[in-house]
Amino acid sequence: MLRRACRALGLAVVALAAAAPGIPQSARVLAQGTVQTQPIDPFGQDVTLPEKTIVYTTGSGSWDTAYDTLKEAFKTLQDYLDKEKLTAAGPALTIYTAMDDVSFNFQAAVPLASAPTTPQGNIGTGTSPGGKALKFVHRGSFDSMTATYDTISHFVEEKQIASKELLIEEYMTDILKTEPDKLVINIFVPID
């Protein structure tokens, strides 16, 4: 299930931090065998994430209801953006800050050009994680991400890459408006 794969990936501590050399085609097939991939979809691509100014809300949830929990968090953020007449400066993000077999803690975040002056209630401002990461792409439903996360976990372990206990999902399609089986999600695994 998604929770096992996220936990295995998020909690894996490997001694060697190495760049991922060429990605075998078999790894791509295993990771995305159940969803429609595109030839340009990266699998383990080295990237450097820029830090971005974000507004966010924090929360926790169980893996069984993760999609609904995250959608509610993003609805809260969208209501705040609409009320304050703020415009997103990039795709929405989920930053998973802690994970185990049953549950997770997260920040649901939206990048902005500059920090708002009036965060309210459970809305905070800050900066998204930056630095070196591996980029993967998932196309399809949130529930079908289990296979993608399993393969990412195996890839990281096989390459002996030291990953941080943090995962980032970037929603290239609007999580609030896109049909659940049509999602396109960039998954970033920050590395040491």
CA atoms of 187 and 170, how far apart (whole Å): 6
In which band, very low, low, confident or very high, does the pLDDT at 18 lie, cut at 50, 70 and 90? very low
Q: What is the share, in percent, of the chain residues with pLDDT greater than 70?
A: 80
Q: Is the pLDDT of residue 9 over 80?
A: no
Coil/strand/helix, residue 86: coil
Q: What is the pLDDT of residue 117?
A: 78
Q: What is the pLDDT of residue 37?
A: 52
Q: What is the pLDDT of residue 65?
A: 92
pLDDT digits (tens, 9 = 90+) for 91-144: 999 999 999 989 999 999 999 998 887 777 889 999 999 999 999 999 998 888
Residues with Cβ within 8 Å of 40's Cβ and at least 6 positions away in sequence, in order, are none
Q: What is the pLDDT of residue 115?
A: 82
pLDDT digits (tens, 9 = 90+) for 157-190: 998 988 888 999 999 999 999 998 899 999 999 9
The closest of 92, 67, 56, 82 to 174, measured between CA atoms, is: 92
Q: What is the pLDDT of residue 70?
A: 96
Q: Is the pLDDT of residue 15 over 70?
A: no
- Residue with the larger pLDDT of the pair 2 and 126: 126
* Cut 0.75: pTM above it: yes
Q: What is the mean pLDDT of the chain?
A: 82
Q: Is the pLDDT of residue 71 over 80?
A: yes
Alpha carbon separation from 167 to 11, 12, 86, 100, 145 (Å, rounded) = 10, 12, 26, 13, 13
Alpha carbon separation from 171 to 41, 83, 187 (Å, rounded) = 14, 22, 9
pLDDT digits (tens, 9 = 90+) for 132-148: 999 999 999 888 888 89
